[in-house]
Amino acid sequence: MMLRIPSKKSSPLAYKLLIYILLSSSVITLAITSYQLYSDYQNDIGLITQRFWQIKVSYLDSLSRSVWNFNEEQYEMQLKGILSLDDVVYVALVTPKNKILAAKGEPEVEYIIKKTFPLKTEDFGKTVDAGRLVVVASLKRIYYSLFRKVFVILISQGIKTFIVSTIIILLFYFLVTKRLWTISGFAKSIDLTNDEYLKLNKGAGKDEIDLVAGAINRMKKELKGNYDKIKQMNLQLESKVAERTIELESANIKLEKLATHDSLTGIYNRRKLDDLYGKYWQHACRNESALALGMIDIDYFKHYNDTYGHGMGDTALKKIAATIKESAKRPFDVAARYGGEEFMIMLIQVDYSGFKHILERIRKNVELLAIEHKSSDVSDVVTVSIGGIFIVPGDDHVPEKNEYFRLVDNYLYEAKKGGRNRIVCAKSLSRRPVTSVYSG
């Protein structure tokens, strides 16, 4: 038997439904496609922006030092690393006098995003201008990807529209129109309450759905009550589940913070410091960079509590903790309460002079808080003594943390023994002898 597509006269509702589906589908498809393309474009732009941020975080400090120290081999290698990032086509170092110091890649003139980073570094505690880093990213890949997606969508939508149109007409005719007569007769014979039937007018312009309207109306009336009850129960259940979920998430956040943060000062606790130590050591080994530890002790803090009370002592601890955290302000710098009136800082990606500068900044900033301390033997305000150690790992061995914690505690003791309100720090190359350096 030959398959024949039903005509508009034999199944008018099928054609009406088809028209509405095609129109609505086209509008929705256009809206979704536009949004998807826009979203993909923004995501690609976001990835490029993320790469710029990655360059800023991962390369800028070391690149600034390399340029300032005229380390050509190092900054050439760093430029190659930046150029290897996706979509980056050109990178250049420009001196403060606008002369190109070094460049990699080929700059393009269209469809690009250009980003300029100032190169700043510290030289003997002062910030100096080492020049600029210019990075150019190409948008050609993004535009080509969007064009390809549009082409694929148009082709696939055209094929899909043709297939769906044919299937809708055939399915609706065989699954709905031809069966409506049978369904209508069956539905009219069902009556759960009485023997009355809905009579339909079969005037001109009527379509197939009129034949089952009466049966659907009767079933809807009977089912509506149960449906409303079930819907209300579902809403109540969803509301309870949502409330419990929010409570559980809030409890988890609080538990996590209690496990990793000091309850009084709000900075990391000793447990979190211990957890981060091994990770930072491995980072220093992989990158052949330094790990710096600093231990801070509040001078004559017991006398302070005896004089002003523990309430004022807690307030002072909070202020000093906030000052330490602000002084070591890079995102990956670690500030933690070590115990009592002692605090620790842990730094990576820092040189020895920068480490000493940060320790001095902490000491000075605490002193600038001007917290009155009449019972101190060293100053009229609260001060701190600091011990520090600058470690350059020589292998992948992670030493027992107490090994270096004990060293930094010894230097803190020397700072206190030397008169307090001062810094004693040391520089160590793996297991080589340690040389101490004192500063007041």
Indicate which residues carry an active-site annotation.
341
Cα angle value 90/93/99 (rounded, 5°): 115
In 51-111, beta strands by DSSP E? 88-94, 100-105
Query: Can you read off the two tokens belonging to residue 88?
Result: 């980056």
Who contacts 85 (Cβ-Cβ below 8 Å, separation ≥6)?
Answer: 51, 54, 55
**Residue whose C-alpha is closest to residue 345's, from 393, 409, 296:** 296
Burial of 107 (0-12, 13-18, 19+ CB in 10 A): middle
CA distances for 181 relative to 4, 10, 214, angstroms: 21, 14, 13
Amino acid at 236: Q
Whole-angstrom distance, CA of residue 334 vs CA of residue 319: 17
**Residue whose C-alpha is closest to residue 61's, from 114, 113, 135, 130:** 130
Helix and strand numbers, DSSP H then E, in the chain: 11, 10
Reduced to 3 states, what is the DSSP secondary structure of residue 324? Answer: helix
**Residue whose C-alpha is closest to residue 69's, from 128, 117, 135, 116:** 128
Contact criterion met (CB below 8 Å) for 409 and 387: yes
CA atoms within 13 A on the CB side of 3: 7
Structural Rg of the chain based on CA atoms: 37
Whole-angstrom distance, CA of residue 207 vs CA of residue 199: 15
* Tokens 């922006």, located at residue: 49
Whole-angstrom distance, CA of residue 420 vs CA of residue 379: 10
Query: Can you read off the two tokens belonging to residue 105?
Result: 């890649």
Q: Report the sign of the C-alpha dihedral through residues 84, 90, 96, 102, in that order.
A: positive
Whole-angstrom distance, CA of residue 345 vs CA of residue 384: 14
Contact criterion met (CB below 8 Å) for 105 and 69: no
